[in-house]
Structure 1
Amino acid sequence: MNGVLRRVRGMALRSRLALLVAVAVAAAVAAVAVTCWFITRGQLYGQMDNELRSQVGQLNQNRQAIPLLNCPDTGGQRAIPGPTIQVINSDGTVCTVRGDTPISARASDLAVADGSSDRALHTTDDDKGKAMRVLTVPVTSSPGNQQVQGIAVSIAKPLDEVTKPLTTLAWVLLLVGGIGVLGATAAGLWIARAGLRPVDKLTDAVEHVARTEDLTVRIPVDGDDEIARLSASFNSMTASLASSRELQQQLIADAGHELRTPLTSMRTNVELLTRSEATGRAIPPDDRKALMASLKAQMTELAALIGDLQELSRTGLSAGEGPVKVVSLHETVRSAVERARLRGPELTIDAELAPWYVRAEPAALERAIVNLLDNAVKFSPEKGTVEVRLMRGTLTVRDHGPGIPAEELPYVFDRFWRSPTARALPGSGLGLSIVARTVEASGGEVALAAADDGGTVATVRLPGAPTPPPEIP
């Protein structure tokens, strides 16, 4: 059985569907055929039994039946067409009145002869082995219609009057059923082929994508059935993969472009130091000090860029994989404000923070807030003021710097984007991109806009509550 199941599972889907249809039709045809055969068999047996009863009744009503009780020598009467008629004595002797082959009396027949049973109906074989349907009843006398004790009469008909039509019917049902099963199998193959044609197209498309990595393949979507939904899902998947690949390629290109500048500068400075050592020509102390300071700044910038790339990859590609906890946003902002004061000691940072608790990844959220404040510190004028407000889940960071032109606002959260006026300042162009992705991963939103009287205001909205919600189990 297990071997058969393994073979069926190894068949193609359309073959399994056709086999399923054929088996279902065969089972239905077999059930109908067997039911029809048994109903017909019952009807034929009932009809034969009724005929026997009718003929026995006529025999008992025939006043010439009494002479037959003595079982005379009937001679040629045995060849008279019609059912076999026998007289059965209670002692077991049988006298054939009509018919060419005697039928042995059974116990049920003798019970009728001695008066212990009123009738017997059974199937038996005559002395030549021919199946006969036998009905045995008591003999009644004409006057008073009383039973004659010790004697019974049997009437029998060949059973082939029933078995031959049943055999013919069985062959007809078998033939018709076989044709039906073959037709159902052919129809199942056609239906499976037609129904799985869209699946074949989908399979070809998947194999083409796997073979060529061509993510521009799209499958036509017809209707709204399961196959259409599968095709639409495949198209959405390939579109998402194509978009992801494009973003990945863009990230690599942008990262390479941004890494090239500090690496080129570092290479130039290192070559100057190497050449000085090789030629023995010392670099003037002031120039050497400036060269080492430049190297240190470039290494710092390169390390910050690599760190930003790692953070961006983590928040952009695997957001939500870190532990999500209940975070007090006001404490996180307060910590970031303290760090910002260390980076801009000449600035005044005015913070007003109301309690607010959110569900987020603590480290990622803190880095995003720090990036937001670093951006404000970097663009604030000397001895300027940065205003930080947290009210009912809305965090605003306002600086009084040069601001961002309106035409540049749509690009501020793009990776590696930097305003032309800010390219001379340190930075990688990834800070605001990290902020946007972290806030979005926490279910919030972030926006940058020009302040009314100059400067820039950054707004972050995060869902939460003024009291700590239950911890995530």
Structure 2
Amino acid sequence: MSTSERAPLRRLRSLPLRSRLSILTAAAVAVAVALAALACWLITRNELNTQLEKSLNQSQDVVLQQLRAHPTLLCGGQAPTNGQFVNPSNVLAQVVLSNGTVCSVTGSGTFPATAADREQVVVPGSPPGSVTHTVRADGHDLKVLTTSTNLLLDSGGGSRQPFALSVARPLSDVTDPLTTLAWVLLAVAGIGVVGAASAGLLIAQAGLRPVDELAQTVEHIARTEDLSVRIPVEGQDEIARLSASFNAMTAALASSRDRQQQLIADAGHELRTPLTSLRTNIELLQRSEATGRALPPTDRAELLASVRAQVTELASLIGDLQELSRPDAARTVTVVALHEVAETALARARLRGPDLRISADIQPWYVRGEAAALERAVVNLLDNAVKFSPSGGEVEVGLRGGELTVRDHGPGIPAEDLPHVFERFWRSPSARSLPGSGLGLSIVARTAQQSGGEVALAPAPGGGALATLRLPGAPVAPPGPPNPEDWD
């Protein structure tokens, strides 16, 4: 398509949607009306031509009957006796002799006889023939039907000669109604196109009103950042679905912003405590150095140990925040040997709880997920069990059929705290004195969801807590690239 041909399309696309709908509606109606008008005109023309030919045949039969009843007709020298003939349907009728002479039988005159007309003059007993053509006489076009008669004309003096009969009607009987019909159809088509364009504009305005409201709402939200605005949903059509989808999107955005603000507030609150303690300890060390009054070695060692612990806690908190803020698109999914991840996490847990007995029953299990995230989730579960286990206690770890269980023998979880254990920064009153950010179990829940599994925490029979992490997978690693159909 050339540049000049694409220019109208670009101009059409630059128009408002309601204008485009009106133009397209008018164009569609114009095409439909034009086709209907053309079909109507062609059908009418064919019908009028058929009626004209039928009228010529009928008129010819009437004139032939009258000629047979009055066989004497004078041609030349004297006027023909056409007063004895009836003029049927305003038809011109004349006889044509072999020499081209014509004599009027009925009507208001004669019309030229062509060679084709003269060829129809045959002697009696010859096969009859007929010819149809158009001639022009006195400024008018005539439709002529000439037919052999097998009759002899007495033209006076005792001579009788064969003749052909020509009947004619003006073509204006067809063209005048067709012209009138064309003007009527043109007027109707014009009215229809204008009406269709007007109706299309009104329908477009009514149909696009919800879209205008949606656009105004979007502009309002972009201007004010007010995500609480909702669009009324009426009906079940596409506009209603669009409005409902937009409302769902704004609700999700509002929820996401609320969670983000809550995360920032909670992170600020959690960071404030170790930072305040860290600043206090550092100021104490600076004051000791500035005044020249050295702290006792024991106090100085405890102070430095406290600083190291607070720095470690800050690093852990920052790492947890980074893990929770990382988008899903940044994850690299591979086939992960969950039993190997559990063994690595067990080694780290034994270092953090040297006075605990940690027993394990680990069976092979392969899952699809991110290795680092799965290891962090398992480590968080074990750290949680180590933190709440009493000195000399036991932690039982099992991995069977894709279900990882971690059971401790600590104080357990009160029933009223169970609904909140996977919330970010939530810590039970009994655990607020212990180290931790309150993000560990949130990270476990997110990792389980990303891997298509689930996690649960419940009181264990006989005391303590039982954490269960279920992940879909298989006991044997499938060959080739990961395929979701290979997993339970």
Give your verdict on TM over 0.5. yes
1:134 aligns with 2:138: no
**What pairs with 1:63-78 in structure 2 (closer than 5 Å)?**
63=68, 67-68=72-73, 70-72=75-77, 74=79
1:60 aligns with 2:64: yes
Match of 1:112 in 2: 120
Alignment partners' CA distance in 2, 1:76 and 1:12: 78
Alignment partners' CA distance in 2, 1:339 and 1:172: 95
| Secondary structure of residue in 1 paired with 2:120 | helix
Distance 1:71 1:45, change over 3 A: farther
Note the C-alpha offset of 1:92.
Answer: 5.2
Note the C-alpha offset of 1:149.
Answer: 7.7
Alignment partners' CA distance in 2, 1:362 and 1:133: 96
Question: Are the counterparts in 1 of residues 74 and 81 from structure 2 also a CA contact under 8 Å?
Answer: no
Distance 1:6 1:95, change over 3 A: farther
Question: Are the counterparts in 1 of residues 150 and 162 from structure 2 also a CA contact under 8 Å?
Answer: no
Match of 2:49 in 1: 45
Question: Are the counterparts in 1 of residues 135 and 142 from structure 2 also a CA contact under 8 Å?
Answer: yes
TM-score calculated relative to the size of structure 2: 0.86
* 207, 216, 219: which one aligns with 1:204: 216
Note the C-alpha offset of 1:212.
Answer: 1.4
Alignment partners' CA distance in 2, 1:188 and 1:349: 77
Where structure 1 has 5 or more consecutive residues not aligned to the other structure, the ranges are: none
Note the C-alpha offset of 1:45.
Answer: 1.9
Note the C-alpha offset of 1:150.
Answer: 7.2
Distance 1:406 1:97, change over 3 A: closer
> Which letter does structure 1 place at the counterpart of 2:446?
R
Match of 2:448 in 1: 439
* 25, 29, 33: which one aligns with 1:29: 33
Alignment partners' CA distance in 1, 2:98 and 2:268: 118
* 126, 134, 144: which one aligns with 1:123: 134
1:172 aligns with 2:152: no
1:339 aligns with 2:343: no
Distance 1:68 1:11, change over 3 A: farther
| Secondary structure of residue in 2 paired with 1:125 | strand
Deviates further, 280-289 or 239-248: 280-289
Alignment partners' CA distance in 1, 2:183 and 2:325: 75
Alignment partners' CA distance in 1, 2:252 and 2:328: 17
> Which letter does structure 1 place at the counterpart of 2:384?
N
Aligned residues: 464
1:326 aligns with 2:335: yes
Alignment partners' CA distance in 1, 2:128 and 2:10: 60
* 452, 455, 466: which one aligns with 1:457: 466
Match of 1:14 in 2: 18
Distance 1:37 1:72, change over 3 A: farther
Deviates further, 283-292 or 169-178: 283-292
Match of 2:92 in 1: 84
Alignment partners' CA distance in 2, 1:343 and 1:134: 119
Alignment partners' CA distance in 1, 2:416 and 2:6: 70
Note the C-alpha offset of 1:451.
Answer: 2.2
Note the C-alpha offset of 1:244.
Answer: 0.6
Alignment partners' CA distance in 2, 1:420 and 1:70: 135
Question: Are the counterparts in 1 of residues 230 and 247 from structure 2 also a CA contact under 8 Å?
Answer: yes
Question: Are the counterparts in 2 of residues 63 and 142 from structure 1 also a CA contact under 8 Å?
Answer: no
Match of 2:9 in 1: 5
Q: CA RMSD in A?
A: 2.9
Alignment partners' CA distance in 2, 1:321 and 1:68: 111
Match of 1:468 in 2: 477
* 273, 276, 279: which one aligns with 1:267: 279
1:221 aligns with 2:233: yes
Distance 1:301 1:51, change over 3 A: same
* 341, 344, 349: which one aligns with 2:358: 349
Question: Are the counterparts in 1 of residues 424 and 439 from structure 2 also a CA contact under 8 Å?
Answer: yes
Identity among equivalent positions (%) equals 61
Match of 1:398 in 2: 407
1:240-284 Cα deviation digits (max 9, x unpaired)? 111111000000111111111222222233333444444555444
1:89-132 Cα deviation digits (max 9, x unpaired)? 55556566666676444453343346898111122322x43211
1:413 aligns with 2:422: yes
Match of 1:231 in 2: 243
Question: Are the counterparts in 1 of residues 221 and 227 from structure 2 also a CA contact under 8 Å?
Answer: yes
Distance 1:277 1:74, change over 3 A: farther
Question: Are the counterparts in 1 of residues 74 and 80 from structure 2 also a CA contact under 8 Å?
Answer: no
TM-score calculated relative to the size of structure 1: 0.88
| Secondary structure of residue in 2 paired with 1:375 | helix
> Which letter does structure 1 place at the counterpart of 2:322?
Q
Deviates further, 106-115 or 418-427: 106-115
Question: Are the counterparts in 2 of residues 136 and 152 from structure 1 also a CA contact under 8 Å?
Answer: yes
1:327-357 Cα deviation digits (max 9, x unpaired)? 2222221221112112222221100112222
> Which letter does structure 2 place at the counterpart of 1:138?
S
Distance 1:276 1:95, change over 3 A: farther
1:403-460 Cα deviation digits (max 9, x unpaired)? 2222222221111112222223221111111011111221222121222322221111
> Which letter does structure 2 place at the counterpart of 1:52?
L
Where structure 2 has 5 or more consecutive residues not aligned to the other structure, the ranges are: 154-159, 484-488
Note the C-alpha offset of 1:300.
Answer: 1.3
Match of 1:189 in 2: 201
Alignment partners' CA distance in 1, 2:135 and 2:14: 53
Note the C-alpha offset of 1:76.
Answer: 11
